[in-house]
Amino acid sequence: MSGVSAVARIRATADARGGTALRELTGDGPLALRRSRHPQDAGAAHVVLVGAMAAPLGGDRLRVEVVVEPGARLLVTSAAATLSLPGREPAPAHYDLDLTVAGDAELIWRPEPVIAAAGSELRLWTRVHLDPHARLLLREEQVLGRHDERPGRLTSRLTVRQGGRLVLDQSTDIGTGAPPGWDGPAVLAGHRTLGQMLTTRAGTVGASAEAAAFPLGENLTLLTAVAQDIPALRAALEAPDPTPRPVPVP
């Protein structure tokens, strides 16, 4: 099977001055990582994921591994949307995210949306491993198709373990080629954009006509929403810019 295989790794650790150091920052192929200044917290690290080439294409296997060690604070964003495109062979692309957050550590995962272009097939799996005293804000946004084009297929899975216990394992399969009913009233109801926000911050999430909130585990909440476009989705998630201030753990 053709395609590109690439892995990016981020490891954030607390330094001796109350800040955060990046002990590991490596990426290859289409996964490039860049250091940046945190917009609000001088003691936190900020990493930007930059697409160095068109990806993911059909047959590609991409993986991002993030570890936030005790006392560290990390913000991860992306320079642009992730665009899933068809490859030369009719094979799905795989994009895995493995996020581990230790006790008294904080991860804010806030990339730009994943867009499933016409003819593409992407399998996205996000695995989250949390210490019971970890702090997390994870936002995922997915868009079916570019402007005025048919959607590609996007199969996504989110699994969350807190203190070693599985608290969430959910999957969605939407877009052209997905099982019937994906665009029906029980799933997207004609919308083209969906998203979710997973957070340990009390008071960050709520619910609206377009969104629903679900309590999970210890101080952990999942908010899901559908919308016609990204601005409407972020409004439904009540988080147009959800970067929280660090919150001390008792």
DSSP 152-206: -EEEEEEEEEETTEEEEEEEEEEETTSPTTTTSTTTTTT-SEEEEEEE--TTS--
Does any domain span residue 209?
A: no
Residue 119 lies in domain: 5-197
Does any domain span residue 138?
A: yes
- pLDDT number for residue 207: 52
- pLDDT number for residue 187: 80
Q: What is the DSSP string of 60-73?
A: -EEEEEEEE-TT-E
Does any domain span residue 231?
A: no
- pLDDT number for residue 186: 74
- pLDDT number for residue 11: 98
Q: What are phi and psi of 185, to 5 degrees?
A: -65, -20
- pLDDT number for residue 203: 54
- pLDDT number for residue 1: 54
Report residue 209 as tokens.
């006509």
99-117: per-residue pLDDT in tens?
Answer: 999 999 999 999 999 999 9
- pLDDT number for residue 213: 84
Instruction: Yes or no: say if 201 and 239 are a contact pair by the CB < 8 Å rule.
Output: no
Report residue 100 as tokens.
């581990």
123-140: per-residue pLDDT in tens?
Answer: 999 999 999 999 999 999
DSSP classification of residue 208? B
Number of domains present in the structure of the chain: 1
Does any domain span residue 55?
A: yes
Does any domain span residue 28?
A: yes
Instruction: Please report the sign of the dihedral spanned by the C-alpha atoms of residue 163, residue 203, residue 138, residue 221.
Output: positive
- pLDDT number for residue 126: 97
User: How far apart are the C-alpha atoms of 161 and 99, rounded to whole Å?
Assistant: 10
Does any domain span residue 144?
A: yes
SS3 assignment for 1-19: CCCCEEEEEEEEEECCCCC
Does any domain span residue 169?
A: yes
Low pLDDT (below 50) residues in the chain: 239-250
Does any domain span residue 224?
A: no
Helix (H, G, I), strand (E, B) or coil at 222: strand
- pLDDT number for residue 79: 92
